[in-house]
Amino acid sequence: MSHPFFLTVAYAGAGFHGWQIQTSLRSGQGDLWTALRAFDSGAPMPQGTGRTDAGVHARAQGVLIQASRSWEPYRLLSALNAHLPMDIRVMAVRPAPEGFFPRQHALAKRYVYRLGLGAAADPLLSAFRWHIHQALSLDLEAMKTALAPLLGTHDFSSFRCADCVAKSPVRTIHGIHLLPVEGGLDLIFDGTSFLMHQVRIMAGTLVEVGRGRRSAESLEGVLSSNDRRKAGMTAPPQGLCLEKVWYEARWGLGDPSPWGERR
């Protein structure tokens, strides 16, 4: 008999070649499975909610594990963390309902892309930001204007990388917000799910608008072109973090989705 548990896992992405397990490269999924099998040798591979890219961080990777015996949640958290490196931590553990699968039952995700602004990169934050080196400030009003065409349900072929294997390029973006913070700017992306590199390409394109290298009105044409070459650069991975996931309310795992249930 297996005992399912739902974990909230955080990791600093610099040391990982993404979440998904690799043959010979380090991954979040691989490290967690190694830690679990240190005291539960027959445990199957943990299943995560999102496949973060190499170098991308996570604060709220949702993970389902199947333990061979019952655990008090805090003791399981402590046991896992005792076998994990310090750049990946289990932040919370709770019993998972039978039939729950994190990837299939996720309704929406929030990714935050963090920009560093100013004369020099903050050495204490540079591992988690993309610092924009320039004398003039980003044009935030132009960036806000550029957001409108990206909202809603669209074919985002222009904003996915050539290696993306998703069957459909159609995705729904619920909201994009610009949040000034001390020494920088956070770009907050809420959507049902995202294509490979989609958030990083959107972030890179918006930075080009902020720098005056493309017009705020150009993004509608970029989106409708379905041509990756029309969009901006792919922003570097260290600025991106998976911050939050909303699951179907019936499972009782976290806050209900602000955008309702699956239709």
List the catalytic residues.
Answer: 53
How far is it, in rounded angstroms, from Cα 233 to Cα 47?
31
How far is Cα 110 from Cα 73, in angstroms, rounded to an integer?
26
111 annotated as a binding-site residue: yes
Residues 240 and 175: their CA atoms lie apart, in Å, by 16
Tokens found for residue 65: 């594990």
* 153-to-97, 123, 172 alpha-carbon distances in Å: 31, 38, 4
CA–CA distance, 233 with 169 (Å, rounded to integer): 19
Question: What's the rounded Cα separation, in Å, for the pair 13 and 172?
Answer: 26
DSSP calls for 18-86: -SS--SSS--HHHHHHHHHHTT-TTPPPPEES--PPTT-EEEEEEEEEEESS---HHHHHHHHHHTS-T
Q: How far apart are CA 90 and CA 71, in angstroms?
A: 15
Task: Measure the CA–CA gap between 151 and 47, rounded to whole angstroms.
Answer: 30
- The answer to whether the CB of 242 falls within 8 A of the CB of 102 is no
Question: Nearest CA to 227 among 162, 166, 172?
Answer: 162
Those residues whose C-beta lies under 8 Å from the C-beta of residue 167, and which sit 6 or more positions away, are none
Residues flagged as binding site for substrate = 111
